[in-house]
Amino acid sequence: MSKRLRVGILTGGGDCPGLNAVIRAVAKSLILQHDAEVIGFEDGFEGLVEQKMQPLEYSDVSGILTVGGTILGTSNKANPFNYFKRGGADVSSQVVTFCRKLGLNAVVVIGGDGTMSISNKLHKLGVNIVGVPKTIDNDLMGTDRTFGFDSAVAIATEAIDRLHTTAQSHNRVMILETMGRYAGWIALYSGVAGGADVILIPEFEYEIEEIVRVCKERESGGQKFTIIAIAEGSRPKGGTMVVQDMVTDSPDPIRLGGIGKVLESQLEKHLRSEIRTTILGHTQRGGTPTPFDRNIASAFGAYAAAMAADGEYGSMVALKENKLTSIPLESVAEKVRTVPADAAMISTALAVGTSFGVSNFEKRFVGTKHSTPLT
């Protein structure tokens, strides 16, 4: 009699909407298609180090599709190669031994770039890993989409819609600061969806004179309000990103935030209109996933389960030109996918007159054709 397939699953890094949808899809399809045994590790890689786990039966993953967060818990500090609870010790060999002892055929790891980098190193040590790309930032290399991004964009878009009406009533300049770390995807997609007049992203240093020009031009044209979407990683020309906090025991200690207020004080020197700043923060990570995120999270999960069953290890599920595929963890690790100047949504924004806070943007950065997929 052949041994029953045994697969572990964990969620690593910051949470986002859709994690439970992936857990459900992985567990249900492994149980239904392969009669597999599924084990959930708690609090990301901490569960593998501290041996915190729970069996996941079919009933355990029922009713969680629409629920935000993760039933397994997560951690953006637990790195087995530099373990925060043991003074930064390398406990990776302990993790490898534990996975062997459990007789795991594979571990499905759901996470962002930090989690995929750790997964790549563990895979090289002999742990059979299948990655699933998660993050609201949409900044993972090798996939056109991560799940969680669409939900964050929906939340930021709703915020822009709401800022629009109050901006109009008071003739104000409204600044909305989104998350996204070093990539501007959330600000770009919510900015276009919400019709922001100016979109500022880390990929292009902004010029204050250009933003002032847009606000004044709108005012003289009868539109006495302006909506600005700014990504937390943005910076003025010649300036630096605004670091809000340093989480020293985290593998990626820098926490960005506060550039919206910096922009507000820069603009105050040039404009008579009142300016207000809203920082969306973690609302972008909470709550129920959008239908699109539920769908790609489910599709990613089912695909990851098939990879685990087929023995396709050391790779991450990816969405490329609207098709599910997989790419080696090696090509994802330690990389960030930022917004290219020829992104389809950049051309779209330019076509409807949105400013990126850079004078002569089109001449300096792009041609008229876009070359990246829209999603």
Closest to ligand F6P by CB, 181 or 218: 181
What are the backbone dihedrals phi and psi of residue 346, each rounded to the nearest 5 degrees, phi first?
-70, -50
Residues 278 and 286: their CA atoms lie apart, in Å, by 17
Question: Does the protein bind ligand F6P through residue 135 (CB under 6 A)?
Answer: yes
Closest to ligand F6P by CB, 92 or 135: 135
Residues 318 and 144: their CA atoms lie apart, in Å, by 7
Q: Which residues contact 124 (CB under 8 A, 6 or more apart)?
A: none
Q: Which member of 8, 12, 14, 301 binds ligand F6P (CB under 6 A)?
A: 14
Specify the stretch interacting with ligand F6P by CB under 6 A; choose among 94-102, 134-142, 222-230, 355-363: 134-142
Q: Which of 137, 139, 150, 293 is catalytic?
A: 137
Closest to ligand F6P by CB, 76 or 298: 76
Residues 256 and 253: their CA atoms lie apart, in Å, by 10
Question: Does the protein bind ligand F6P through residue 136 (CB under 6 A)?
Answer: yes
DSSP readout, 204-248?
S-B-HHHHHHHHHHHHHTT---EEEEEETT--BTT--PPEEEE-T
The answer to whether the beta carbons of residues 164 and 276 sit under 8 Å apart is no
Instruction: Report 177-216 residues binding ligand F6P (CB under 6 A).
Output: 179-181
Residues 314 and 122: their CA atoms lie apart, in Å, by 9
Instruction: Report 236-255 residues binding ligand F6P (CB under 6 A).
Output: 255
Alpha helix locations (H) across 257-290? 259-268
How many residues of this chain bind ligand F6P (CB under 6 A)? Answer: 13
**What is the dihedral angle through the alpha carbons of 21, 23, 29, 34, rounded to the nearest 10 degrees?**
180
Alpha-carbon distances, residue 116 vs 3, 71, 131, 179, 187 (angstroms): 29, 20, 7, 20, 24
Beta-bridged to residue 132, according to DSSP, are 110
Instruction: Report 74-103 residues binding ligand F6P (CB under 6 A).
Output: 76
Closest to ligand F6P by CB, 31 or 279: 279
Kindly state the smallest distance separating residue 181's Cβ from ligand F6P, in Å.
4
Closest to ligand F6P by CB, 113 or 210: 113
- 137 flagged as catalytic: yes
Question: Does the protein bind ligand F6P through residue 277 (CB under 6 A)?
Answer: no
Q: At what angle do helices 113-124 and 92-102 cross, to 10 degrees?
A: 70
Instruction: Report 35-64 residues binding ligand F6P (CB under 6 A).
Output: none
Would you state the structure tokens that stand for residue 130, as one six-digit string?
């299948």
Q: Which member of 56, 107, 129, 256 binds ligand F6P (CB under 6 A)?
A: 256
Closest to ligand F6P by CB, 127 or 179: 179
Question: Does the protein bind ligand F6P through residue 145 (CB under 6 A)?
Answer: no
By CB atoms closer than 10 A (0-12, 13-18, 19+), residue 101 is: exposed
The answer to whether the beta carbons of residues 245 and 256 sit under 8 Å apart is no
Kindly state the smallest distance separating residue 147's Cβ from ligand F6P, in Å.
13
Closest-approach residue to ligand F6P (CB): 179
Task: Write the binding mask 287 to 326 for ligand F6P: x where contact by CB under 6 A, - elsewhere.
Answer: ----------------------------------------
Closest to ligand F6P by CB, 66 or 244: 244
Kindly state the smallest distance separating residue 97's Cβ from ligand F6P, in Å.
30
Residue that has been written with the tokens 């599920």 in this structure: 317
Contact residues for ligand F6P (CB under 6 A)?
14, 76, 112, 135-137, 179-181, 232, 255-256, 285
Question: Active-site residue numbers?
Answer: 137
